[in-house]
Chains A and B, each alone.
Chain A
Amino acid sequence: MLSVLFMLPVLLGMSMLANYANQPGPEAIDVPVKLTSGVLPEWKAFSARPTVVFFYHPHCPCTRATVRTWERLIATSSTQPKIFAYAYRPADVNDQWVESDLTDAIRKLGDVDVIADAGGDACRRFGVTTSGHLLVYGVNGELKFSGGITSARGHEGESQAGDAFIKQINLQSTAQTHWPVFGCAVVSEAEGV
């Protein structure tokens, strides 16, 4: 009885925790399949490297796992992608709000442009809602990868999504191009995408 008394909250808590960790964010809708300067003004076509558009919440602890996973994947990348990191910023605060250890870590991922996404406009434009969403566009601007690279919310480690992500970075093709995203909501569903 005592065991049950103690273990029940443990089991329930662990179950809830697992359920929480494995609960992906809402699937992205209408992600642009072709990257153009209209979609991404800062973008320009590169001859030999892909473009990564990364949406994140600068204070989301779950995205830290995405970044750490990404850091490990870089070791196996053969090309240096151009990264555009859109950091969510509430509309009523300045850009300093996006500065965090997560943003600092992202800047170290390579050729990164951190762009404060005031009010989540870019997220809406790309149709993503969850922090940690990555979009990989090929050298021709074609969408090659959409989704997260962690296997659970805030859970770093190897995953098939990560493998697919790095293959696309390495300009290789993968069978699956859309993956679930585990992270905090950048834009709530109620707010609409």
Chain B
Amino acid sequence: MPEQRRIAETNALFQQRYETECAWVHRFMAWIMVGQWALGLAFAAFLSPYTWIGERQEIHIHVWAALLIGTSLSGFALYWMRLYPKEASTRHVVAIVQMLWSALLIHLSGGRIETHFHVFASLAILSIYRDWKILISATVVVAIDHFVRGVFYPLSVFGILTESPYRWIEHAAWVLFEVAFLAPGCYRLRKEVYELCARQLELQDAKRTVDQQVAERTRELSDAYELLAEKTAETEKLALVARYTDNAVLITDADSQIEWVNEGFTRITGYALEEVIGKRPLDFLHGPQTDPQIRETIRNANQHKVGFNVHTVNYRKDGQPYWVDIEVRPIRDADGEVRRFIGIQADVTERVTQEREKIRLHQELLDVSRQAGMAEIATGVLHNVGNILNSVNVSVSVIRNQCSKSALGHLQKVTDLIAEHESTFADFVSSDQRGKKIPSYVQRVTQALGDERQTIDEELVDLTKNIEHIREIVTMQQSMARTGNCNQRLELDTMIEDALAANKASLMNHQIRVIKELDDDAAVIETDKHRLLQILINLIKNAKDSMVEHGVDSPQITIRSRCEDEQLVLSVIDNGMGISRESLQQIFQHGYTTKDDGHGFGLHSSANAAGELGGRLEAFSDGIGTGARFDVTLPLNPPKSGIETKVFQATS
């Protein structure tokens, strides 16, 4: 129970304090005891040092009494105080001894009236113990002393022999009279000390509580101070930002009336702070080019006390329009009420201008690119078609030669001869020498025409294939801009034969020997047929051109395939002119060529095609006159999702 605990603590504190007080009074009383002892001796020695019998003197009994009785009294009190400093009995002992000292001193002083006050003084001194009970003890001692001496030695007390035996009561009553004042005082003082202890405990509790609160408040204040310092530093930084940012910063009240603008606002708009305080930005920053829809958006946001972001046209003080990005946010108080708005306006006129210029340039670039792309596509188409057209021309020349030298003319002569001798045809055949030759002649012509037809048919087959290839080239080039997947499983040997067929005439004309060294593990490959065919035709044609141009005695093209790390390496090797080190660095660049009549497109487009197939095209040569080797590296299992367009990188 707190109350019981409080009472117990108060009692303990009072006891502690009272014991401390008693210890102090004990020390004081100890000096009193010593002083009384000295005083008694002095009294006796000064007032009655000797007793006389005529001319004879003896030590007065008062001196012995002062020495012996005084020593016993003071010694007893001192010993008891030392032995039991905290006991209540000690205070009673002191009181009793003190009263006996009064009796002794009165006696030693010869009953001087002044020494009677020792009793009253002693009572007053004893009252500093704040223990009214010891005053009773003292009173009892006085009463007993007077009673005993009144009974047995009334003269010593009352000065008469026939005194009333109740006279001692009168003397005790005087003592009681003083005690009647002192005892309540002791009680009251004791009670006051007790109350002081109670108040002290309350104060200690209060102080402890206050200390705790102070500590808590101090800690809170410290935290708040640190927080405030952080916030202040942050605010100062923000203030620096607001003050020195190039952007315009506005603070408005809840009704969007300007309270503060920064220097950035003045720099951008030309309006000084004092010119705009109390105004609404809507009323003086907007103009004809300001989007009405934006104005409505801002107005609605202000009305509904919400933030907004807009991009619009504002007007400077001099009427010049400028593009601005506006970000406005509401500032709420602790109750959530919007008290202010803070707005940041960034002058983005330059950015808008740049963006517009960029868009324009981008559009122009697109146009140019489109034209360049178209030109490149056209070039590619024409180049590839041109390559095929060579074969077409050859086929056509063959057919034309075949037709010009056709046996059909001979057949016409026979037909004219038969028409001339139509009426006598039978005789002519049987009798005329020329007529006799007609059947065999017709037979030979027919045979010749049959051979011609076969030749023409073969050429027409090649021609048809080449024309089909041209169509595929055109189709493929048309689809270059699109991502498409034309992968199919191909027999590599067939592909190589088709590429050789496209260059067949040239190879035959220049008696170029073709050697195939194909790896059986890569007999079938899955790739885009026409891209790979285009690459091979280009490489074979380049090899042929290199050997023809270099005038090699025994021109030879080796086509080799091998598998390396899930990749197919297809090499076209010639023993032609070769490639210099410098040319190797540039040979795949668009427009770069070593031929007198070249365009610098074939290898470039072939390299691109190899990249589109997921592979690469590489050129190797030890220099001029050493021949060259071109390796086409292709994945054996290309991705199914389609052809990836990769950046091509040529290596030497």
Contact = CB atoms under 8 A, between A and B. Distances in A.
B487 to A, nearest CB: 127
Interface in B34-66: 47-57, 60-62, 65
Contact of A191 (B52, B54, B68, B159): B54
A68 B103 CA distance: 20
A21 B156 contact: yes
A19 B103 contact: no
Contact of B160 (A2, A22, A131, A160): A160
A21 B104 contact: no
B79 interface: yes
Interface centre among A9, A154, A156, A186 (most CB of B within 10 A): A154
A62 interface: yes
Contact of B52 (A17, A20, A59): A59
Interface in A29-68: 57, 59-62, 64-65, 68
A18 B152 contact: yes
Interface in A1-30: 2-3, 6-7, 9-10, 13-14, 16-22
B112 interface: yes
Does more than half of chain B's interface fall in helix, strand or loop, or is it mixed? helix
A154 B161 CA distance: 16
A160 B51 contact: no
B134 to A, nearest CB: 16
Contacts of B49: 61
A10 B100 contact: yes
Contacts of A166: none
Interface centre among A2, A16, A18, A187 (most CB of B within 10 A): A18
B76 interface: yes
A169 to B, nearest CB: 18
Given A157-B111, A188-B54, A152 B153 contact: yes
B539 interface: no
B156 A155 contact: yes
A99 interface: no
A52 to B, nearest CB: 20
A127 interface: no
B428 interface: no
A9 B110 contact: no
B113 interface: yes
A157 B113 CA distance: 7
A184 B61 contact: no
Contact of B155 (A60, A120, A131, A152): A152
Contacts of A161: 159
Contact of B48 (A154, A156, A157): A154
A151 interface: yes
Contacts of B55: 88, 90, 93
Contacts of B75: 6
A172 interface: no
A13 B72 contact: yes
A104 B533 CA distance: 168
What band does the interface of chain B fall in when counting residues whose beta carbon is under 8 Å from A? 35 or more
B212 to A, nearest CB: 51
B107 interface: yes
Contacts of B57: 59
Interface string B133-169: 0000000000000000100110110111110000000
A5 B460 CA distance: 163
A159 interface: yes
B68 A13 contact: yes
A61 B48 contact: yes
Interface string A147-180: 0001110111111111000000000000000000
Contact of B61 (A16, A157, A187): A16
Interface in A78-117: 88, 90, 93
Contacts of A6: 72-73, 75-76, 79
A57 to B, nearest CB: 5
Contact of B54 (A62, A154, A185): A185
B268 interface: no
A162 B159 CA distance: 9
Given A7-B76, A62-B48, A188-B53, A151 B68 contact: no
B69 interface: yes
Contacts of A188: 53-54, 56
Nearest to B49: A61
Nearest to A179: B161
Contacts of B103: 14
B301 to A, nearest CB: 101
A17 B110 contact: no
Given A13-B65, A13-B68, A14-B103, A151 B52 contact: no
A1 B80 CA distance: 12
A19 B65 CA distance: 12
Nearest to B107: A17
A157 B76 contact: no
B110 A156 contact: yes
A6 to B, nearest CB: 3
A157 B159 contact: yes
Contact of A20 (B53, B61, B79, B155): B61
A65 B108 CA distance: 11
A14 B104 contact: yes
Given A59-B57, A88-B54, A185-B52, A65 B111 contact: yes
A9 B61 contact: no
Contacts of A120: 54
A45 to B, nearest CB: 33
A184 B57 CA distance: 10
Nearest to B83: A2
Contacts of A151: 111, 155-156, 158-160
Contacts of A16: 61, 65
A185 B51 CA distance: 9
A20 B100 CA distance: 17
Contacts of A60: 51-52
Contact of A9 (B50, B69, B160): B69
Contacts of A14: 65, 69, 100, 103-104, 107
Nearest to A188: B53
Contacts of B53: 184-185, 188
B52 A57 contact: yes
Interface centre among B53, B60, B80, B158 (most CB of A within 10 A): B53
A9 B72 contact: yes
Nearest to B61: A20
A61 B51 contact: yes
Interface centre among B47, B68, B72 (most CB of A within 10 A): B72
4 smallest CB-CB distances across A and B, nearest first, come from A151-B159, A61-B48, A159-B159, A6-B76
30 contacts: A2-B80, A7-B72, A13-B65, A13-B68, A14-B65, A21-B153, A57-B54, A59-B52, A59-B57, A60-B51, A60-B52, A61-B110, A62-B48, A62-B51, A62-B110, A64-B47, A65-B110, A65-B111, A90-B54, A120-B54, A151-B155, A154-B48, A154-B111, A155-B159, A156-B111, A157-B111, A162-B159, A184-B53, A185-B52, A191-B54
Given A61-B48, A157-B159, 20 more contacts: A9-B68, A9-B69, A10-B76, A13-B68, A13-B69, A16-B61, A16-B65, A17-B61, A22-B153, A61-B49, A64-B110, A120-B54, A151-B155, A154-B48, A154-B62, A154-B110, A155-B107, A156-B111, A156-B113, A161-B159
